[in-house]
């Protein structure tokens, strides 16, 4: 069911129920009022008859009948029955009113007693004088009152129906008006496709920041993120293809050249070693891409276990030292924590090793200097691994893009690389709820701070 219809029906049900309670209460209170009013009239008739009995010494039933006939206030289907000392002395009306003994007892006991008999309301009162004890009973049908009550019932019923129809109509109208901006948003969203991701939902200029305004803003922000992810993905694929194509083309060229004519063994060796170099480059690139893909799909705690950070860093330094024997890689604790357990965190050891290795490897690779410093600093919250080199540095305007996949700074074109190491390290640190920060001075060196949260 559409929200519009749901709102309308809900509104109608609530208003209908309230109105029904209101109408039933009116009917109920009016019915009570009618009963009280008619009882009062019956009582007045009974008292009037009693007065005649007092004033006229010798009560003549014929006289009462005559007076009743002249009286304009006679009730509809009225009966008057008078008993003197339990003996019926007067009974008038369309049909005879039968009064049982227990009823007479009750009237005598209570002096005034109201009851209903054959749809008629009856009141009995007592009166005593020197002749004895009179019981005067008057009954009648409140035709006027019941007609009014029936009329009221009809008015309330028809009124209720008309009101409900009006409420449904108004509810639909207002729900339509309130929800029309949502329909607008929906139709605009419908027009946004993969090739048209830059389109945005128009946000009104109104000062009032209503929910629809917020919805449109949230939706636009989501589109920003999707567009960014979509474009990164596109550029990732094109960059990856480009990076793969370069060594493959070079490999293809070298093998073709080798096959064109017969060559000396040395020349073949030369071609083979250069091809092997390209293959190794290709292999390195593919491994990097595979790692990137894996970190993308990894769940957070995959293969996590306790890892002691300083030991991991020392292993990595060892590996780099073997690769760059001419560079001195120093290691130092900037501050040694009192409890050594602070150096142990839950991590995926293999990934973390790859991440730290990429950074120390870069420090060595981009240093024309012979020195790289690795420091460990432990605070209450973070373990920070600092890698400091005194190499070529990163141009200031490029430092913000350096963590993007395939991005390589302008000053490193002559040094081999694919530009995926740092972005992979960044992802790995994010998976470990950590982060990487780079500070660099072009021509003076680079500092990379890798922070990991201390285990709780
Ligand atoms: P690669 O080193 O394979 O090019 P990375 O992702 O590891 O890829 O690094 C991306 C870019 O960041 C490098 O091409 C380089 O321009 C810059 N960079 C990273 N580390 C350093 C460093 N220590 N000194 C200078 N430039 C660096």
For atom 7 of ligand 1, which residue has the closest CA? 421
Model confidence at 451: pLDDT above 90: yes
Model confidence at 344: pLDDT above 60: yes
Query: At the topology level of CATH, where does 302-453 sit?
Result: Heat Shock Protein 90 (3.30.565)
* SS3 label, residue 144: helix
For helices 309-323 and 349-365, angle between their N-to-C axes, nearest 10 degrees: 40
Ligand 1 pocket test target in 247, 417, 446 with most atoms within 8 Å of CB: 417
Question: What are the boundaries of each domain within the chain?
Answer: 3-148, 211-297, 302-453
Query: At the topology level of CATH, where does 211-297 sit?
Result: Helix Hairpins (1.10.287)
Ligand 1 pocket test target in 412, 415, 441, 444 with most atoms within 8 Å of CB: 412
Domain formed by 3-148, architecture: 2-Layer Sandwich (3.30)
CA of 316 to the centre of ligand 1 (A): 18
CA of 321 to the centre of ligand 1 (A): 18
pLDDT in tens, 308-342: 999 999 999 999 999 999 999 999 999 888 888 88
For atom 3 of ligand 1, which residue has the closest CA? 417
Q: Of 186-190, 205-209, 392-396, which gets the smallest average pLDDT?
A: 205-209
pLDDT in tens, 349-390: 988 999 999 999 999 999 877 799 999 999 989 999 999 999
CA of 412 to the centre of ligand 1 (A): 8
For the CA of 419, the closest atom of ligand 1 is: 8
For atom 11 of ligand 1, which residue has the closest CA? 408
CA of 302 to the centre of ligand 1 (A): 28
Residue 382 C-alpha from the chain's centroid: 35
- pLDDT of 204 reads 66
pLDDT in tens, 370-379: 799 999 999 9
CA dihedral 33, 34, 37, 43 (to 10 degrees): -130
For the CA of 402, the closest atom of ligand 1 is: 12
pTM: 0.59
Model confidence at 71: pLDDT above 70: no
Q: Are 152 and 27 in contact (CB under 8 A)?
A: yes
Q: How many residues does the chain have?
A: 456
CA of 380 to the centre of ligand 1 (A): 30
Sign of the C-alpha dihedral, residues 275, 279, 284, 288?
A: positive
Mean pLDDT within 71-98: 78
Cβ < 6 A, ligand 1 pocket: 358, 362-363, 366, 389, 391-394, 402, 408-409, 412, 417-423, 446
The band of 91, judged by pLDDT with boundaries at 50, 70 and 90, is confident
């Amino acid at each position: 069911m559409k929200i519009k219809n749901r709102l309308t029906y809900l509104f109608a049900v609530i208003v209908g129920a309230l109105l029904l309670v209101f109408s039933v209460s009116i009917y109920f209170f009016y019915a009570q009022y009618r009963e009280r009013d008619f009882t009062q009239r019956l009582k007045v008739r009974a008292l009037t008859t009693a007065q005649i009995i007092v004033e006229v010494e010798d009560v003549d039933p014929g006289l009462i009948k005559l007076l009743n006939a002249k009286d304009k206030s006679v009730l509809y289907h009225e009966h008057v029955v008078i008993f003197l000392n339990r003996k019926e002395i007067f009974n008038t009306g369309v049909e005879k009113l039968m009064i049982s003994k227990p009823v007479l007892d009750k009237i005598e006991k209570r002096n005034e007693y109201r009851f209903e008999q054959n749809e008629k309301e009856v009141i009995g009162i007592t009166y005593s004088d020197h002749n004895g004890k009179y019981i005067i009973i008057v009954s009648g049908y409140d035709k006027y009152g019941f007609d009014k009550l029936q009329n009221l019932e009809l008015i309330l019923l028809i009124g209720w129906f008309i009101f409900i129809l009006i409420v449904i109509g108004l509810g639909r109208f207002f729900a339509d008006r309130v929800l029309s901006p949502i329909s607008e948003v929906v139709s605009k969203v419908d027009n946004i496709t993969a090739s048209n991701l830059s389109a945005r939902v128009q946000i009104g200029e109104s000062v009032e920041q209503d929910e629809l305004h917020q919805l449109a803003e949230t939706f636009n922000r989501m589109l920003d993120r999707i567009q960014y992810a979509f474009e990164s993905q596109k550029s990732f694929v094109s960059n990856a293809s480009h990076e793969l194509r370069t060594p493959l083309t070079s490999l293809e060229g070298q093998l073709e050249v080798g096959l064109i004519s017969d060559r000396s063994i040395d020349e073949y060796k030369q071609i083979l070693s250069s091809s092997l170099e390209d293959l190794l480059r290709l292999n390195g690139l593919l491994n990097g891409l595979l790692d990137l893909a894996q970190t993308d799909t990894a769940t957070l705690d995959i293969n996590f276990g306790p890892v002691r950070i300083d030991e991991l860093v020392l292993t990595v330094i060892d590996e780099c030292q073997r690769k760059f024997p001419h560079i001195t890689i120093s290691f130092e604790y900037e501050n040694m924590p009192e409890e050594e357990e602070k150096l142990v965190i839950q991590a995926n050891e293999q990934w973390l090793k790859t991440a730290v290795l990429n950074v120390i490897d870069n420090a060595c690779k981009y240093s024309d200097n012979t020195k790289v410093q690795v420091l460990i600093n432990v605070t209450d919250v973070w373990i920070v691994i600092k890698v400091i080199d005194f190499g070529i540095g990163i141009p200031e305007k490029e430092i913000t893009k350096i963590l993007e996949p395939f991005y390589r700074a302008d000053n490193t074109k002559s040094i081999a690389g694919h530009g995926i190491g740092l972005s992979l390290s960044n992802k790995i640190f994010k998976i470990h709820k950590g982060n990487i920060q780079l500070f660099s001075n072009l021509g003076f060196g680079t500092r990379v701070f890798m922070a990991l949260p201390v285990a709780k």
